[in-house]
Amino acid sequence: MFKMKRVSIVFFVLVLFMVGCSSGEGNNTSSDGGGEAEGNGNDVIELSYWVPFSGSDGEFMEDMVSEFNKSQSDIKVEFMNNNWDDYYTKFKTALVSNTAPDVAVSHVSHLGELLPTDKLAPLDELASEAGLDWSDFSENQVNAIMKDGNHYAVPLDTHAVIMFYNKKYLGDAGLLNEDGSIKMEQGVEGFTEVLRTLKQELPSDVSPLVIGSNNVFTFWIWDALINQQGTNYIEDGQVNIDTPESKEAMNLMKTWLEEDLMPEDIGDNSYDIFKTQDAAITFSGVWATGNFETEESLDFAAVPFPQLYDQPAAWGDSHTLVVPNQDDKEKQIAAVKFADWLTENGHMWAEAGHVPAKTSVIESDVYQSMPYRSEYAAVMEDVKYMPQSDKLGAINDAILESLVKINYGQISVEDGIKEAQGKVEELLNK
């Protein structure tokens, strides 16, 4: 009997220990924050910082963080890079369970998913204390981060899908003007004619155009093309996919595929195909610039997405910095200061290919003298941000599924567009 008692005590202690572990952690974080707030004096404010830059742009951000840490001694930022694919899985879960970092990157397009959790701090008051001036940013960008009259994020950049072309191939086909721009008639026919000429003039193993026909690039290009025709896929909360404009955009892509002006069944290797000079033109993200530059034999130009319809438009998104809610206001102000520093030093970030958010940075000599970047910076004015919705990720996925089915001939353009309309309506009404 005695032994049993002893054993049960051991068991009890064990349970207490486990429970202690978990609540201990919880206490730690809160007392940590509180402690620093009180004893501010000479303490260094430590900020945890999450980013989704698993591509080549991660290194540039890491350099910027260490530069920031060197530039002053009050704030120390701890950098954590995450995989792009599941970043929002992680970040939103962390937000909801109150374990979020002090400052983090979010795409403008994902703010719609994050804001309803009420876990992101409105920045107006913090910004004025940190000395951040909203008028430094372009209007297009500031509008995208507003909700109910409050600013919720600090724009870091704009990134868009633009056009890259191989100067050698276009020159060979006689399609270059003297200044290096493409010789083409305005509009859809003009552009398709350029592709046809390339097909005729170039070796048979070089594709005139390459895009990711089974991945998100298909969606991005469709989005650009419908915006060029003056529509968007959600307007005033109503799904607006089953339109002549949508069908026109997909018919165009189908034409390119059927005339073999671009190869079928292409995914992320679209970058490689252009880089290894197996294609003459590609629509790709600005972030590919840094990647293409590493291939010395590749002589290319990077220009805004071509205008094929009535008005200029390009798919784009923007990296912004958000500050999760927490009791320690000091940390939040430090976070905004850090965000401001990042945008102020946007030329460093531009190395990765993105277009800096601050107009003063774009106009600076440092930026203007960078190769390629200044040529496509104008895309910022054409970028049409995606509609705001707390289900935007799922909506875009659903549309993409149908568009890819069209590309692979699993469904007709007509039915595919109708299917997308139905799926998105269902998602929104759920």
What the block records as the tokens of 119 is 């876990």
As measured in angstroms, the least distance from the Cβ of 379 to other proteins is 27
Tell the smallest beta-carbon distance from residue 281 to other proteins (Å). 16
Neighbours of 27 (CB within 10 A): 9
Calculate Rg over the CA atoms of the chain: 25
Beta strands in 244-286 (DSSP E): 279-285
Q: How far apart are CA 248 and CA 254, in angstroms?
A: 10
* 304 belongs to the binding site for other proteins (CB under 8 A): no
Q: Within 363-402, which residues bind other proteins (CB under 8 A)?
A: 390-391, 393-394, 397, 401-402
Asked whether the beta carbons of 303 and 371 are under 8 A apart, the reply is no
Do the beta carbons of residue 102 and residue 311 sit within 8 Å?
Answer: no
In the list 273, 339, 377, 386, the residue contacting other proteins (rule: CB under 8 A) is 273
10 belongs to the binding site for other proteins (CB under 8 A) = yes
392, 170 Cβ separation under 8 angstroms: no
Q: Are 390 and 112 in contact (CB under 8 A)?
A: yes
Stretch that binds other proteins, among 10-18, 224-232, 250-258, 361-369 (CB under 8 A): 10-18
265 touching other proteins, by CB under 8 A: yes
SS3 state of residue 363: helix
Contact 322, 104 (CB under 8 A): yes
Q: How far is the CB of 7 from other proteins (least distance, A)?
A: 5
User: Which span sits near other proteins by CB under 8 A: 33-41, 115-123, 178-186, 226-234?
Assistant: 115-123
Burial class (CB in 10 A: 0-12, 13-18, 19+), 237: exposed
Q: Which C-beta is closer to other proteins: that of 284 or that of 402? A: 402
Which lies closer to other proteins via its Cβ, residue 66 or residue 408? 408
Shortest approach of other proteins to residue 392 CB, angstroms? 10
Which of these ranges, 3-11, 158-166, 232-240, 252-260, lies near other proteins under the rule CB under 8 A?
A: 3-11
**Smallest distance from the beta carbon of 266 to other proteins, in angstroms?**
6
Is 116 a binding residue for other proteins by CB under 8 A? The answer is: yes
Exactly one of 31, 133, 410, 415 binds other proteins (CB under 8 A); that residue is 410
CB of residue 243 vs other proteins: minimum separation in angstroms? Answer: 21
Which among 245-253, 341-349, 364-372, 408-416 is the span making contact with other proteins, rule CB under 8 A? 408-416
Chain-centroid distance of CA 195 in Å reads 28
Sign of CA dihedral 309, 312, 314, 316: negative
Q: Using CB under 8 A, which residues numbered 204 to 223 contact other proteins?
A: 214-215
| Stretch of 89-97, 168-176, 243-251, 361-369 lying at the interface with other proteins (CB under 8 A) | 89-97
Which region, judged by CB under 8 A, interacts with other proteins, from 71-79, 272-280, 328-336, 356-364? Answer: 272-280
Compute the distance between CA of residue 303 and CA of residue 391 in angstroms, rounded to an integer: 32
**Separation CA 427–CA 89 (nearest Å):** 19
The whole-angstrom separation of Cα 222 and Cα 228 is: 10
Closer CB to other proteins, residue 270 or residue 343? 270
Angle between helices 413-429 and 244-258 (to 10 degrees): 130
Tokens in use for 110?
Answer: 């994902």
> Which residue among 3, 23, 39, 41 contacts other proteins (CB under 8 A)?
3
For the bound state, the minimum distance from the C-beta of residue 237 to other proteins, rounded and expressed in Å, comes to 16
Q: Which of 54, 56, 69, 117: binder of other proteins (CB under 8 A)?
A: 117
Q: Examine residue 26 and tell whether it contacts other proteins (CB under 8 A).
A: no
Question: Looking at the DSSP assignment, which residues form a beta bridge with residue 209?
Answer: 281
4 sits near other proteins (criterion: CB under 8 A)? yes
How far apart CA 345 and CA 317 sit, in angstroms, is 20
- One residue of 278, 295, 328, 330 binding other proteins per CB under 8 A: 278
CA angle 261, 218, 430 (to 5 degrees): 155
Separation CA 72–CA 95 (nearest Å): 29
Category of 114 on φ-ψ map: left (φ > 0), alpha (ψ -120 to 50) or beta = alpha
Q: Is 274 in the site for other proteins (CB under 8 A)?
A: no
Binding residues vs other proteins (CB under 8 A):
3-4, 7-8, 10-11, 14-15, 18, 86, 88-89, 92, 95-96, 113, 116-117, 119, 214-215, 263-267, 269, 272-273, 276, 278, 390-391, 393-394, 397, 401-402, 404-405, 407-408, 410-411, 427, 430
